[in-house]
């Protein structure tokens, strides 16, 4: 019997079938159409909800190689209260999703490095908080602001004893070698705590000591933790308040 004739007979028999038989027939022939339709509806609703409820970012801290010790909601709310940020309207991002191991270029390190650089280029990140090894790599690559040009006189005097320095003369020499395609050149970076031993010392970071409130919520396995202000931040006022919040 031709397929169409068989189909017509089934449809005709179904007209006189029970409700259970009709439902069974429907799901036998149309269940995947239903599944796809429901999935499409869920997708559209989810995306629409995200678009309608998405909040602007008031502040973004990249916490590279950090591990959350406890829920960050309390800490985030404390900073929001300190800075006068309404979390009903704005987001505060304390991003611990990036892990970079300079001695192991695995997929996690590569994807984290790409995410970090993409967000810096997009002017999303305000501060970068990390361990000494990652800080050295980025501090000597023009990632951070000169704190002499960012901090108020009061902040500068208060935090100067904890500054992390780079030597601009060493950075310029490194850049000259790289421009000449001398990729074998390995710069010798001076002690970032000792500006007296540098030709052109520039403060680009601040060490977070053990009493810093942030270290009660985040763990860094490498010991020293430094915060730097990203050079293209578009939220300098909130960023300045964040430094006071974590350092006081």
Query: What is the DSSP-derived secondary structure letter of residue 188?
Result: -
CA neighbours closer than 13 Å in the CB half-sphere of residue 162? 20
What CA–CA distance (Å, rounded) separates 236 from 238?
A: 6
**Higher model confidence: residue 77 or residue 31?**
77
- Distance between the two ends of the chain, CA-based, in angstroms? 86
Cβ neighbour number for residue 246 with a 10 Å cutoff: 21
Could you report the per-residue pLDDT of 66-118, keeping only the tens digit for each? Answer: 988 877 788 899 999 999 999 999 999 999 999 999 888 889 999 999 999 99
pLDDT score recorded for residue 13: 53
Query: 230 phi and psi, to 5 degrees?
Result: -65, 135
Assigned token pair, 52: 């309608």
Question: 104-156: per-residue pLDDT in tens?
Answer: 888 999 999 999 999 999 999 999 999 999 999 899 888 999 999 999 999 99
Segment holding 23, helix H or strand E: helix 19-53
Q: What CATH number does domain 56-247 carry, 3.40.190.10, 1.10.10.10, 3.30.360.10, 3.40.50.150?
A: 3.40.190.10
Q: Is 228 helix (H, G, I), strand (E, B) or coil?
A: strand
Structure tokens at 58: 């008031």
Q: What's the CA gap between 95 and 81, in Å, rounded?
A: 19
């Amino acid at each position: 019997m031709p397929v169409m004739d068989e189909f017509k007979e089934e449809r005709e028999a179904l007209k006189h079938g029970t409700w259970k038989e009709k439902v069974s027939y429907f799901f036998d022939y149309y269940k995947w159409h239903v599944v796809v339709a429901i999935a499409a509806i869920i997708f559209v609703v989810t995306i629409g909800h995200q678009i309608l409820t998405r909040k602007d970012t008031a502040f973004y801290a990249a916490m590279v190689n950090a591990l959350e010790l406890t829920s960050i909601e309390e800490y985030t709310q404390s900073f929001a209260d300190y800075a006068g940020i309404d979390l009903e309207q704005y987001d505060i991002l304390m991003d611990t999703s990036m892990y970079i191991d300079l001695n192991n270029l695995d997929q996690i390190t590569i994807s984290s490095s790409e995410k970090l650089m993409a967000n810096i280029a997009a002017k999303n990140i305000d501060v970068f908080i990390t361990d000494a090894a990652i800080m050295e790599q980025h501090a000597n690559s023009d990632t951070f602001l000169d704190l002499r040009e960012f901090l108020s006189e009061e902040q500068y005097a208060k935090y100067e004893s904890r500054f992390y320095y780079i030597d601009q003369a060493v950075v310029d020499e490194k850049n000259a070698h790289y421009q000449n395609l001398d990729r074998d050149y390995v710069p010798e970076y001076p002690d970032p705590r000792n500006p007296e031993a540098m030709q052109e010392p520039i403060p680009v970071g601040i060490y977070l000591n053990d009493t810093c409130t942030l270290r009660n919520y985040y763990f860094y396995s490498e010991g020293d933790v430094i915060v730097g202000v990203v050079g293209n931040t578009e939220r300098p006022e909130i960023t300045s308040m964040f430094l006071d919040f974590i350092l006081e």
